[in-house]
Amino acid sequence: MSPPTPPLARQLRDATRDAHRSLDHHPALQCLLAPTLTREAYGASLLALYPAHAALESRVCREITRLGLRLRVPRRLPRLADDLGTLGLTPEALASEAGPTPASPATLAGELYVLEGSRLGGQMIADRLRRTLGPGVPHAFFSLAMVPGEWSRRLAELEALCPPGQREAAVAGAREAFARFHHQLDTHFRA
* pTM (two decimals): 0.93
Residue type for 176, please? Answer: E
Q: Give the domains, in start order, of the chain with CATH numbers.
A: 7-188 (1.20.910.10)
N-to-C CA span, the chain: 43
Q: How far is 121 from 115, CA to CA, in rounded Å? A: 11
> What dihedral angle (degrees, nearest 10) is formed by the CA atoms of 109, 7, 168, 187?
50
Reading the chain (191 residues) residue by residue, the pLDDT tens digits are: 566 667 999 999 999 999 999 999 999 999 999 999 999 999 999 999 999 999 999 999 999 999 999 999 999 999 999 999 999 999 987 765 556 678 899 999 999 999 999 998 898 999 999 999 999 999 999 999 899 999 999 999 999 999 889 999 999 999 999 999 999 999 999 87
Residue 110: per-residue pLDDT: 97
Q: How far is 175 from 173, CA to CA, in rounded Å? A: 6
How many secondary structure helices (H) and strands (E) does the chain include? 9, 0
Residue 182: per-residue pLDDT: 97
Q: How far is 89 from 94, CA to CA, in rounded Å? A: 15
Residue 93: per-residue pLDDT: 75
What sign results for the dihedral spanned by CA atoms 48, 52, 53, 55?
A: positive
What sign results for the dihedral spanned by CA atoms 77, 82, 85, 86?
A: negative
